Structure 1
């Protein structure tokens, strides 16, 4: 029976890891649908490459930073056949896989904010540093025993800081790192006129944007429910709270966003971001309220950033992940209370302290990483590269290469650039 139980736990968390891995395609398509056509290839390659670098950095450095566990031992030890420290049947390996998909969400979040003008190479460097050192430090503080953070919280408030599935650890930290990166990069060329007025840049493909949001929404039930990490701790409450928060975010973003499809699809994600922290302790009505607040807040903050504050955060990652994650961490301390139908065991004081600490940690870490890379290597494409688009400038191919083909008078298929050059020579 012990073997069966362990095998079930291995399969359970493996399925969760696969679901969260699939969410990264959602990040990719959400960005593809939002950016202009000349940057769609870059969005796809960037998310996939960031995931690969994240996994390597987390395997060799990050997981050890967070939990003090190293995988540099024999395979017999890793699967629990000899030695100590690792569970049998490779449970710790699939647990790493699951948590690695969380860690890789940090650069995937940042990617949406810095889209269309960030250098590819320096972004991969940033990914390695963020996932190898910055993110796992805070992860270890909240989900591990690093620096005695949780002991300190229990001493101050009687209970620890509660973040069941990462409203703060993943989303708020990632969103505030994203804000730092966006501020370091500056606005896209032509985003604002000389008088400061906003120049509209509509999404390039609403169906792709919607596809990305749907993939993320479905995968989120693995993100939240499988955060239990063992079969015995599965809770249907987490699933229904995730559902209620998602629909709450959709409804308010629909109303506040005046039927805008971009806001509606991101509103679902806003609700899911906010409910992660307290999805295991809230009443479903509390989860619905949390998601509803998050959906409306996202729309308002996105517009404030772009129009009033001149912060060119392309996908609104600070509003969506940074601020909705922050709100969700605090909402856990409100709607998790028994007096409001929750299961209790949370403290509003602990939630405010831990949440604000996570936001500050992400902002400072982001400024340090992107500030250092900016000084050392530069983090932004040249004006010429940005104008041509990241697809051609970095990857030498566009998302729709047939659009760049024209037929010359002699019947040969030539690129637009070659055709123009031939025309100039003939002139």
Structure 2
């Protein structure tokens, strides 16, 4: 029947209003998602709109409103572009196509930020071709079985909103939540919206479109009452003010997202039968929609279902509430509404979920983790904004993919302001790095100067000290029982220890430790400790206890010198801080059955003043050791001891208020304070060496040694030892002379100093090794102060052995005997 022109114009006008909803969804979803995905969301809302219009024109409209329907399916001419003869029929087609487009586009927000663009278009086709037309045929075709049953849906509360929300729920379950939204420790952590003002503008567009939704659903202008428009505006007002009042009552900041979601849910609810209710009922419908939205929103979070724009809770919740509330009117029955709603939810959810799951098995619907991290603007559309370019440049520089460089500044924009701030920060960082590099270069130069000074000082000082020590040994050998000479022996030991400690700062701060492996026994080691420290302890009135566990007997191969250095530090520390009581020294062996992982354990226990609790954690700190020193000079102390033990692979521990580690008459429980240091030092158990025959002049006199050293004191010390054992020798003062003498004479052994003028020991060794192998001409390098780097260099150059001063007479001669394979 031909309709008046005014009715056709009214439908066209309402169609334009409904079309604004498409712009509303675009703004709403783009504003509520992150900036890196906003372009993708906008393109989806445009693409699905025109795709759905095309599909609806070719198939949907003819199927839904087929006059040859059997109640379940349409019949007749269902395919092909429509040909309408009247303006009203054309207007009605346009109006109804927008309903289908709205049902599809609201799904876009629920799957935002993680679904492939093409996969979303496939989902749009599934809803536009299968899901929507079939249910709309059942509900809105007068011959449809739901319409025949009495199901009533005035403007699409079920057909559009509940159906679209149900399809969105199915899609969200198939593709899963966004990464990082649900955290096990911190719970639900949704990203912040990129543009809330844009989202609010989208909500206003939706309200305007809803007036066309409800106003045009009456079909003609004559049947439109002003109450329909009033009910729509009242519902929107309730939807906005209800979340606002709840926030005020609970004294929370007003939540913009809750107000937007309340607006949409209340409008979806009143859409069900706004033509049948008055203003009071419209308020109740709106309240039902808002509270249903809140309930579903909480339920989705509990079930870890991610909905970036709350499309499921607002459209599914609001539309379902409106359909059920329609049964409160006299014209609508509750049974038909329940059946219609369950049919809508069951059909839309099951059809979408099953089809999407099947497709997802063969063609993944979700983007990769990397694409999700970068954003769908770039990965799906290669669309880059100023902010995206800025974030990409900062990310590349922060990960080291590109060098640090100033960013390109976009003038007169927020992004340009951020880029300018970044560039200023980068310039400041470069200036600070340059200043730090300058300071670092100065520190390196000072350290190099200090090392050079200490090396030269040790080379010049140690030689006369060792010569003096050698003279003292000769005096003691003549009159070993003289008390005065024993005092000379103690003074000699202290002097040698002082010369060794001169280099502690360099070795420890640079982590250059010298390791001299040699055979020793714990009994000899403990005797030396007692010789150095017992008299000093007893002079203060302290008792001295020294004990060796049964497992620590026998011979060991290890760094005896460094062990003595650690013990000397610990014993000196114990005696200085103990005024009454006793000093206990104990040695034991751990894991004696495992020869490859044996460790000697030494305990130094005292009854001294102890250490405050607040200082115990810093006891091995270098700064603490110097700050607590009451004597002048650099005090390495416990820091040096721990560094030496750590370098060897051992451990040094501190125990306050200890107990006696062995049975003795002195009981530490009588003292209130005291402390114990114990350390483990790796060693290797060895069998007792075979006793060597006394040196025979006939055996050693066969050897001819070349002594290369530039210091007369060192020459005298070495030649005295060689002369005592009838070893022939020739002396030179630099590496060049040594090479020349080797070319003219035959030598059995070279004793080479590492530091000499003209040509140093390292270069001389390299020259000699060009003509003689290690077997043909052994070389022993003698260093005043060696570190690991220097030791490695001499090994690589061709030294057979590297020795450090001071040289102990018997050990030195035994070393020569071993090198020359003499007995």
Name the TM-score class by shorter chain: 0.7 to 0.9
Q: 18-27 or 245-254: which moved more?
A: 245-254
Are 1:396 and 2:382 an aligned pair? yes
Are 1:113 and 2:110 an aligned pair? yes
1:310 aligned residue: 304
Are 1:212 and 2:202 an aligned pair? yes
Specify which structure has the bigger relative contact order, considering alpha-carbon pairs within 8 angstroms and separated by 6 or more residues: 1
Q: 321-330 or 370-379: which moved more?
A: 370-379
Contact 2:265 2:317 in 1 (8 A): no
Counterpart selection for 1:54 from 42, 52, 55? 52
**CA spacing shift, 1:48–1:422, aligned 2, 3 Å:** same
1:249 aligned residue: 239
Considering only aligned residues, what root-mean-square deviation do their CA atoms show, in Å?
Answer: 2.3
In structure 1, the gaps of 5 or more residues are: 81-87, 154-159, 337-343, 407-413
Q: 365-374 or 9-18: which moved more?
A: 365-374
Q: 49-58 or 289-298: which moved more?
A: 289-298
* 1:421 to partner: Cα distance: 4.7
Superposed CA deviations along residues 259-297 of structure 1, whole A, max 9, x for unmatched, are 201111221111100010110101210111110222233
2:332 aligned residue: 346
Contact 1:163 1:277 in 2 (8 A): yes
TM-score between both structures, scaled by the size of structure 2: 0.45
Are 1:93 and 2:87 an aligned pair? no
* 1:168 to partner: Cα distance: 0.6
**CA spacing shift, 1:175–1:146, aligned 2, 3 Å:** farther
1:339 aligned residue: none
Contact 1:250 1:292 in 2 (8 A): no
Counterpart selection for 1:273 from 250, 257, 268? 268
Q: 362-371 or 268-277: which moved more?
A: 362-371
* 1:28 to partner: Cα distance: 0.8
Aligned equivalents of 2:103, 2:359: Cα separation in 1: 17
Aligned equivalents of 1:119, 1:269: Cα separation in 2: 27
Q: How does 1:311-326 map to 2 (within 5 A)?
A: 311-326=305-320
* 1:254 to partner: Cα distance: 1.8
TM-score between both structures, scaled by the size of structure 1: 0.85
**CA spacing shift, 1:424–1:268, aligned 2, 3 Å:** closer
* 1:193 to partner: Cα distance: 1.9
Contact 1:176 1:318 in 2 (8 A): yes
Are 1:295 and 2:290 an aligned pair? yes
Aligned equivalents of 2:396, 2:168: Cα separation in 1: 39
How many residues align structurally?
388
The SS at the match of 2:238 is helix
* Higher alpha-carbon Rg: 2
1:410 aligned residue: none
Aligned equivalents of 1:393, 1:143: Cα separation in 2: 41
Contact 1:141 1:147 in 2 (8 A): yes
Aligned equivalents of 2:104, 2:232: Cα separation in 1: 23
Contact 2:20 2:208 in 1 (8 A): no
Are 1:385 and 2:382 an aligned pair? no
Q: Which has the higher strand share?
A: 2
**CA spacing shift, 1:380–1:403, aligned 2, 3 Å:** closer
Aligned equivalents of 2:158, 2:308: Cα separation in 1: 21
* 1:79 to partner: Cα distance: 4.1
**CA spacing shift, 1:14–1:71, aligned 2, 3 Å:** farther
Aligned equivalents of 1:254, 1:127: Cα separation in 2: 35
Counterpart selection for 1:172 from 120, 143, 162? 162
* 1:389 to partner: Cα distance: 0.7
In structure 2, the gaps of 5 or more residues are: 67-76, 406-823
Superposed CA deviations along residues 361-417 of structure 1, whole A, max 9, x for unmatched, are 22112212322321232210111111111111111123x3255259xxxxxxx9667
Q: How does 1:167-246 map to 2 (within 5 A)?
A: 167-195=157-185, 197-246=187-236
1:423 aligned residue: 403
Q: Which has the higher helix share?
A: 1
Contact 1:112 1:314 in 2 (8 A): yes
* 1:422 to partner: Cα distance: 4.4
1:341 aligned residue: none
1:340 aligned residue: none
Aligned equivalents of 2:192, 2:245: Cα separation in 1: 20
Aligned equivalents of 1:194, 1:369: Cα separation in 2: 31
2:706 aligned residue: none
